Amino acid sequence: MTIHSVLAIGCHPDDIELGCAGALLKHRASGQRTSMLVMTAGQRSRTFTGDTRLKEQQAAASILGAELFWGGFNDTEIDPGRATIDVIEHVMELVKPDVVYVHAPEDSHQDHRAIAVATVSAARRSSRILFYQTPSTTHFEPTIFIDAEENLERKIAALHPVSSATQAPSRT
């Protein structure tokens, strides 16, 4: 299977970075178009302060070399129904992904479970949907592994985009 475009879908800023940033970096290094769809701004996060998480997500997407799309949903209020499926289908029409990454369906966060269900519906004609694990995943038995060791530093930078951009260069 030739891969031209990859789409990663996450509920909140940093979900994609935690779950599959290494894989996205590997796809990008192979010349594949990488896109991210983040469904909420993470408004209910303990760290949410105005547009801080939005700016962090934009910086993370830049570090990953990925195009960023926003779903426009409210944090903790995502429903797996038609409205959510429509947003995912719309972005899929724009980026035409050969591979779709999304949260593993067995998760303690209701938004993660809802997005997994909605993505399987929206991507029902796709040849490859891959689940990723985040800290709130409760059960995960992967069958495909992507070695992301070569991209670990950039993945970590994407998880801390503001501190990565403002750190003084190290002296050697």
Average pLDDT, the chain: 88
Report if residue 172 sits inside a domain: no
The predicted pLDDT at position 124 comes to: 93
Tokens of 152: 């670990």
User: Average pLDDT, stretch 25-34?
Assistant: 95
* Contact by Cβ (8 Å): 102, 137: no
pTM for the model stands at 0.87
Which residues, listed in sequence order, are joined to residue 8 by a DSSP beta bridge? 36, 101
Q: What is the pLDDT of residues 115-148, one digit of tens each?
A: 999 999 999 998 899 999 999 999 999 888 888 7
| Residues counted in the chain | 172
What is the structure's pLDDT at 50? Answer: 65
Per-residue pLDDT of 143-168, as tens digits, reads: 888 887 787 777 777 877 765 444 33
Residue 88 lies in a domain: yes
pLDDT at residue 83 is higher than 70: yes
pLDDT in tens, 91-115: 999 999 999 999 999 999 999 999 9
Question: Is the residue at 141 inside a domain?
Answer: yes
171 found inside a domain: no
Residue 37 is part of a domain; what is its CATH number?
Answer: 3.40.50.10320
What is the number of domains present in the chain?
1
Return the amino acid letter for 128. R
Domain enclosing residue 109, as ranges: 5-166
Helix (H) or strand (E) holding 7: strand 5-10
pLDDT of amino acid 94: 98
Q: Are 98 and 1 in contact (CB under 8 A)?
A: yes
Tell whether 49 is covered by a domain: yes
Residue from 70, 72, 79, 140 nearest 110 by CA: 79
Q: CA–CA distance from 160 to each of 23, 40, 164 (Å)?
A: 18, 18, 6
